[in-house]
Structure 1
Amino acid sequence: MTPQKLDTSVHAIHEWLARSVKSLGNHSDRLNAINVFPVADGDTGSNLYLTARAGQDAVSELETDDIGGFLEVAARASMESARGNSGTLLAVFLSGLSEPWIGHERLTAPLLAVGLERAKVRSWSALSEPVEGTMLSVINAIALAANSTLAYIKTDLESRAALDALLTQMNQAAQLAVKGTETELEPLLAAGVVDAGAVGMLIIIDELCAAIRNEETDFESYEAFKGYKVQDPHIHLNSESESGVEVMCTVSLDALGAATLRGQLDALGNSVIMSPVNQLEEDTYRWRVHVHVLEAQPAIELIAKFGEPVNVTVTDLCTTDD
């Protein structure tokens, strides 16, 4: 396909979400098999798939020409139904990406670059303790690649040729970022695998590029990732599982309440992720909360001191979905 024939409309975004759900479903077993960080509970693939599917379902019949508004609806639904660390980060990524796109009917290279930068900032700020060698590494890499590519493009930045060049650099940067996770984190190095969440994010980026170009996605290169061949064993089964539970809920808070709750959740547990779902009033948002704790009740009671938690889920960290 020539750059002039790239699909930059909301149709491509719709196709991207649908294709991502299908591919995450197809790859979920392999992603689960190499899930050893931050918890070796073998559910990264399942969590990404279910989170992405919730977003795609929400826009399956939505009719609009606004690419940002379309993606915002999907992102919000993903956030409300997010599963695990990886699913929550995916929802945050989609939410950040959608923000600068709202009101636009066509995707351009500058618009994609600013969306990726916003998604990066949102993703990093959502975690109390962000860690490289994870999905964040891929998000960082594609945002940097997009911005640096814009600086060297000689053609019209609003052209389809510029967008095509940016997609190429994004794809290459994401591949390298996944490869780099093999040595960035000790649990991954010890297990001899790449990060499951990082591969999941690569799938999503590959599908974005393919949807815009109206091409089939080639996953053959994934065979080079450590631990990712179909015949490779389920590494997470040989890893020590974390004790405790994962608590997720939605709660309405102002900025001060959210900051205070985050600090107290950090003291109570770990893997704290907090991200706004949508704005209710000038300084009040609905927040999606994620935390790992030894017991659910103290965490739920703590959250209830700040607001009424709804859409509460409690998942045993030792439970696997594969």
Structure 2
Amino acid sequence: MAEQTLANHSDRLNAINIYPVADADTGTNLYLTIRAASQAVAESEPADVGATLAIAGRGAMEQARGNSGTLIAVSISAMAEPLLGAQRMSGPLLAAALHRAQLRAWSALSEPMPGTILSVLEAAAKGATSAESALNGDESNQALAETINGAVWAARAAVELTESQLDPLTRAGVVDAGGVGLLLILDCLRAVILGEFLQEDLLDGLSGYKVQDPNIALEMPEQEGVEVMCTISLTPLAAAGLRLELDGLGDSVIMSAVTEEADPTGAYPWRLHVHVPSAAVALDAIHAVGDPSNVSISALTASVSEDLHDVL
């Protein structure tokens, strides 16, 4: 459901994608990332709710696209942890999963910012926790319904607030694209849990989101530089060192372990994302510590649609 919903909304999400750079691809990136998660689950036979999300998270992480796609992939992987072994979802488990996701997503970014998908995820986690706490650990389906509804409507309020939290969004008169994408994913989760349809009025009134609104991203000045993404196997110490170096070379640095299982050398696979002036700047630093895979390089401008994948 989330895959199809994001496909339907990708054009409008792209149109309001102006932060951290106006490259008009948030909708596309979220769709491709969730599609990878969906395909991973379809090709497996998970044993329980947590295992399903773990498989989805790993599939999403290995093919994650863009800032928002990477943070969504990190969140899915994190949500799996409290759910491992669970045969069904409950209010307490959902609240715990969303709490774990928001902690992991905030820590994955070197410079997390309010007014983004992170704020919306944090609000969803708090909304779920607040609703669940009032139910005193009730594990009934009704309690689960109240918990997921609490998460969705807290996220909706947080999306509306993003317009006033970041100057670029305020000046353009739009809400954050990644935040809207997360809200759509959460409503898909709500619909699946409750056996209902998506809420048709969920996005009503969000600035810049009417069909007739202009494509703000295409009206913004072109951005210089590129987005580099890859997967690389490193020890935690080496990963910390690479993160520090990339922080000095560019911005929007995201690094998160794909799994919690180390190889015999103590290395973990990490998904890496960074914006840099040129690909060579990042690739030189990356190659100095390991051999990357799933490498993609994308121009940070809405006027360039062609990406390079697996270039190394």
The TM-score bracket by the shorter chain reads: over 0.9
Whole-angstrom CA distance in 1 between matches of 2:235 and 2:197: 44
Map 1:1-322 → 2, pairs under 5 A: 19-153=1-135, 157-278=138-259, 279-281=261-263, 283-320=266-303, 321=305
SS at 2:102 equivalent: helix
SS at match of 2:258: strand
| 281-290 or 88-97, larger mean C-alpha shift | 281-290
Residue 304 of structure 1, CA deviation: 1.2
C-alpha separation between the residues in 2 aligned to 1:234 and 1:298? 32
Alpha carbons 2:257, 2:271 under 8 Å: kept? yes
Which range moves more in the overlay, 100-109 or 278-287?
Answer: 278-287
The alpha-carbon deviation at position 223 of structure 1 amounts to 2.7
| Deviations, residues 35-71 of structure 1 (Å, cap 9, x unaligned) | 1100101000000001100110111143234111111
1 CA distance for matches of 2:128 and 2:146?
Answer: 9
Q: Which amino acid aligns with 1:73?
A: I
Aligned pairs, number: 303
Give the percent of matched residue pairs that are identical in Structure 1 and Structure 2: 50
CA contact (8 A) 2:222 2:302 kept: no
Shift in Å, 1:298: 2.0
Higher relative contact order (CA 8 A, sep 6+): 1
Look up the SS of the partner of 1:233 in the other structure.
Answer: coil
Q: Work out the CA distance in 2 between the residues paired with 1:103 and 1:110.
A: 14
Q: What TM-score do the two structures reach when normalised by structure 1? A: 0.91
Counterpart of 1:64 in 2: which secondary structure? coil
Runs of 5+ unmatched residues, structure 2: 307-312
Partners in 2 of 1:191 and 1:170 — Cα distance?
Answer: 27
Structure 1 runs (4+) deviating above 6 angstroms are none
Letter in 1 for 2:26: T
Contact 1:39 1:241 in 2 (8 A): no
Structure 1 residues not aligned, in runs of 5+ = 1-18
